Amino acid sequence: MKLIKVAAAALNQTPLAWESNKDHILAAIEAARKAAVSILCLPELCITGYGCEDAFHSPGVQQTAQRVLLEIVPRTERIIVCLGLPLLHRGNLYNTAALAANGQLLGFVAKQNLPGEGIHYEPRWFKPWPNDARVQIQLGQPATPCPLGDLIFDCGGIQIGFEICEDAWAARRPGSELASAGVDVILNPSASHFAFGKQRVRERFVLEGSRAFGVSYVYANLLGNESGRVIYDGETMIASGGRMLAVGPRFSFAEYQLTTALIDVDATRIARSKSAVAPTERNRDIAARVFADFDFPEVRPERTAPAQVSWESGKHVKEEEFTRAVSLGLFDYLRKSRSRGFVVSLSGGADSAATAVLSSLLVRFATSELGKAGFAHKIAYIPGLDAADEEREIVARLLTCVYQSTRNSSDTTREAARQVAAEVGARFLEFDVDEIVQDYVDLVSRAIGRDLTWAQDDLTLQNIQARARAPSVWMLANLGSALLLSTSNRSEAAVGYATMDGDTSGGLAPIAGIDKAFLRQWLRWMEQEGPEGLGPIPGLAAVNRQAPTAELRPHDAGQTDEDDLMPYEVLDAIERSAIRDKQVPVEVYQRMRAELPDYAPARIAEWVQRFFRLWCRNQWKRERYAPSFHLDDENLDPKTWCRFPILSGGFDRELHELNQFVREEEDKDTA
């Protein structure tokens, strides 16, 4: 039995934040060394950060990354560590993992499969490394030769290979050839963004890789809101021979999380010898291997099992993931942007209530994990915070909510807003902006020579109320050097049911990636149960018992969002079919007929037409939304996921075909 201790570390990095990134790397290395770890896997591109975008093309960035690497390498005494960075070779830039051991740089492995869809755009910056290619490069001053390519590292007799993130998702995984070459340990440094349910997929390829390849598999991911839109859950996994040995916590508020496990190298070798994996002459080529002396310390067997997190196996995994992901995303955005708090225009409705709740929950999650002193240390740049403060005092310092009424506002929404703010501990203000609205209405009426009326100018009179609220909340944000949060959701973004420069005002749109139907369900869950360890927020009952309304028309109009649009469950179903699944109107209509049998065909056809018309007209709004968090493959953010032309044909031909199809259906029914 040959036991060695391995580890994976999740790191909360920031693009181009050289010193803090290096500090987190060194802290993880030191923690691993203290835990008697011999092999440590760190995340992909952890030196530069993954989200550097076109800055990857900067020669200065490439050179600085190399210098930081060479500053870290001497700190790898008595440990083997992989470190991610971009590397330029012969005019081509590669996404690489460097392996260092005992204070020496052993070589670089370059990524072979580059993701180029959705939020990942690696082919814009990097080239895929050709399979089985190897070269010598010169590194540092004075220049020292170093191998780069499809390498296997023999460290003290232990064979180490790499699959870098997407390599493990590809149909032809490098792990297959690594297994045939006798590799004992595969390291997977990753930058795999969070999406609902994605954890299960990762676990499958880690487990299957360890079983099929007869190896021990170490997977490390990034953690937190790295660069603005993308959230990383920080998942770390260690598996061996098809058995999960250790799983690290997700959605941590710490700068790094270390997950360790003992692996039995002899056991995996025996398993591989019994498998169908056949050796290949090419992979036995001595040129593919880098040899290094390394003394693995003796370790004793430990009786451990993967940590079980109860909420991950409960009935409300999506609600828990949403709560934890957005809270972590908000916290990292706050501190990395050096903002001193949040401002939310709290209308008393679902969207703004959800935004306020999530902004307060980050305090509860972070203080629960880090302690109040640890939390205060991470945002020590904000004046007036004290580690001795109670949670509610911290929330009040960080979160300001303001209810802005007009003559069309109701006591119901005012009281709901007040209850939500009180429940979460936010500072609460009330502004009456009706006089400002009427000043604008009178100003324009005089200019055009007639009175504005609801019969003739409905949309204009609604929008001016939303826009009149924006300057005051921007003022509050400016006064406190705070971040103004927009409260628009994805369902409304799809059809443009938002006032530009009104309710869309803000520097960040934290719920713009989630649909309204789920958001309402989540608010009910928050009222009754809430996330594990924190509990419910009963004050949300005042929000949940209302029908969603913009509350911009006179009271006697009885305005509701679903009357203006369509039922949210229908809107979200049409959106998934039309945008996520790329179906044309007739196909969407046919699917809706099957999925929504309680609605009349003519009504469904009307809603499908309305959706497509509104979708096309409002791409310019989606282009102007504040940055939002990526939560799943139904995101509508045109900058990272769902691109659509601002000007288009408006589906005129397709909607004409839908009308013909519906008429033919009606003719058949009456025949």
C-alpha span between 238 and 305 (Å, rounded): 11
| pLDDT score recorded for residue 283 | 47
Mean of pLDDT values over 356-361: 98
Architecture of domain 313-562 in CATH? 3-Layer(aba) Sandwich (3.40)
Phi, psi values for residue 362, rounded to 5°: -60, -35
What are the structure tokens assigned to 290, written together?
């880098």
DSSP 8-state code for residue 54: G
pLDDT at 60 over 70: yes
**Mean pLDDT to the nearest integer, 15-34:** 98
pLDDT reading at 284 higher than 60: no
Rg (CA), the chain: 28
pLDDT confidence of residue 494: 97
Q: What is the pLDDT of residue 666?
A: 85
**Across 426-442, average pLDDT:** 97
- Mean pLDDT of the residues in the chain: 94
- pLDDT, tens only, 191-235: 999 999 999 999 999 999 999 999 999 999 999 999 999 999 999
> Could you state, in order of their start, the residue ranges of all structural domains in the chain?
3-308, 313-562, 566-671
d(CA 132, CA 642) in angstroms, rounded, equals 36
Contacts of 92 (CB under 8 A, 6+ apart): 127
Q: Quickly state the pLDDT bin for 285 (edges 50, 70, 90).
A: low
Residue 655's SS3 state is: helix
Summarize the confidence of residues 429-437 as an average pLDDT: 97
Region 643-647: what's the mean pLDDT?
Answer: 96
Amino acid identity, position 564 = D
Residues 479, 427 contacting (CB under 8 angstroms) = no
Cis preceding-peptide flag for 306 (omega within 30 of 0): no
Residue 664 has pLDDT above 60, yes or no: yes
Q: Tell me: the pLDDT tens digits for 102-157?
A: 999 999 999 999 999 878 999 999 999 998 899 999 988 888 899 999 999 999 99
Pinpoint the alpha helices (H) of 73-229: 174-180, 198-212
Specify the higher pLDDT residue, 557 or 351. 351
Average pLDDT over residues 541-566: 89
- pLDDT over 80 at 11, yes or no: yes
State the pLDDT at residue 282. 47
Q: What local confidence, expressed as pLDDT, does residue 286 receive?
A: 61
pLDDT digits (tens, 9 = 90+) for 293-333: 999 998 888 776 676 678 998 899 999 999 999 999 999 99
**How far is Cα 647 from Cα 619, in angstroms, rounded to an integer?**
8
Topology agreement, domain 3-308 and domain 566-671: no
CA quadruple 427, 428, 434, 439: dihedral, nearest 10: -10
Q: pLDDT above 70 covers what percent of the chain?
A: 97
pLDDT at position 279 is 58
Q: What number is the average pLDDT over the span 362-389? A: 93
pLDDT at 669 over 80: no
Check pLDDT > 60 for residue 399: yes
Higher pLDDT, 140 or 78: 78
What confidence tens digit (pLDDT) does each residue in 174-184 have?
A: 999 999 999 99
> How much is the pLDDT for 277?
59
Say which DSSP state 508 is in.
B
Identify the CA nearest to 502 among candidates 626, 337, 327: 626
Answer yes or no: is pLDDT of 640 > 60.
yes
Q: How far apart are CA 282 and CA 276, in angstroms?
A: 18
pLDDT given for residue 493 in this prediction: 95
Is residue 84 scored above 80 in pLDDT?
yes
Alpha-carbon gap, residue 332 to 375, rounded angstroms = 12
Compute the average pLDDT of residues 382-408. 93
Q: Which residue has the tokens 């030769």?
A: 145
Q: Which fold has domain 566-671?
A: Arc Repressor Mutant, subunit A (1.10.10)
Whether residue 445 is predicted with pLDDT greater than 60 in this model: the reply is yes
Q: What percent of the chain has pLDDT over 90?
A: 87
Residue 244: strand, helix, or coil: strand
Q: For the segment 501-524, what is each residue's pLDDT rounded down to a tens digit? A: 999 999 999 999 999 999 999 999
pLDDT number for residue 280: 56
pTM: 0.95
Which CATH number, 3.40.50.720, 3.10.250.10, 3.60.110.10, 3.40.30.10, labels domain 3-308?
3.60.110.10
Q: Rounded mean pLDDT of 234-241?
A: 97
pLDDT of residue 389: 86
Q: How far apart are CA 343 and CA 427, in angstroms?
A: 10
Find the largest Cα–Cα distance for the chain: 92
